[in-house]
Amino acid sequence: MKTIPTIMMLLLGAVACAQPEAQKHTPSDVDYPGFVELTAEAEEHRKTHTVSLEDFIRLSKEKGTMILDTRSEKMYKAKHVKGAVHLNFSDFTADKLAKVIPSKDTRVLIYCNNNLDKDPYYFARKSAPLALNIPTFINLYGYGYKNVYELNALVPVVPDLGEKGPALEFEGTAVEASSTVKSKAE
């Protein structure tokens, strides 16, 4: 008689051990189908939310507008568009975004390495489909920031001599160091 309970215990133990490893853990909080749906919605919204260099500069000077740089803190500190505030993309959370962006009504201008030319150290190009503007736009949209405008131009960081037209201004430790060297030479 003791044999039947022993066999039952062994069978139950074997069944429990045979369960796949994934079933022993709580599923991750990742929703890829939701991301795909959000991306399609953001794509539609983005069609009317890219701006030329001229509009980017003009809008940046208007009240209720901010420029957001989502590159690494190291590269931001070294060189960024003048007046930009920083929040590393990998640090995006609802709370951190709320601390950096005053209101969901704030007009937010974004740019990334793929908008800036002729400075591969501070603005290293990414593969175009992976440009930082894309996930930045989608995430801001997903967190409820709908007043986001993306720079749609490739802008030389150092304009060619004789080049006319609007240009972005930059600031940061690399810019300050460069200015110090220039002023000593003059």
- The CATH number of the domain holding residue 66 is 3.40.250.10
CA atoms within 13 A on the CB side of 3: 1
Q: Is residue 119 part of a domain?
A: yes
Write the pLDDT tens digit of every residue in 43-54.
Answer: 999 999 999 999
Q: Is residue 18 part of a domain?
A: no
User: Could you give the 3-state DSSP secondary structure of residue 69?
Assistant: strand
Q: Is residue 137 part of a domain?
A: yes
Q: Is residue 20 part of a domain?
A: no
Q: Is residue 134 part of a domain?
A: yes
Judged on CB neighbours under 10 Å (0-12, 13-18, 19+), 19 is exposed
Q: Is residue 15 part of a domain?
A: no
Q: What is the pTM of this model?
A: 0.81
Write the pLDDT tens digit of every residue in 107-145.
Answer: 999 999 999 999 999 999 999 999 999 999 999 999 999
pLDDT in the model for residue 119: 94
Q: Is residue 5 part of a domain?
A: no
User: What is the domain extent for residue 104?
Assistant: 28-185
Mean pLDDT for all residues in the chain:
88
Q: Is residue 161 part of a domain?
A: yes
How many domains would you assign to the chain?
1
Rounded-to-integer distance, Cα 168 and Cα 93, Å = 29
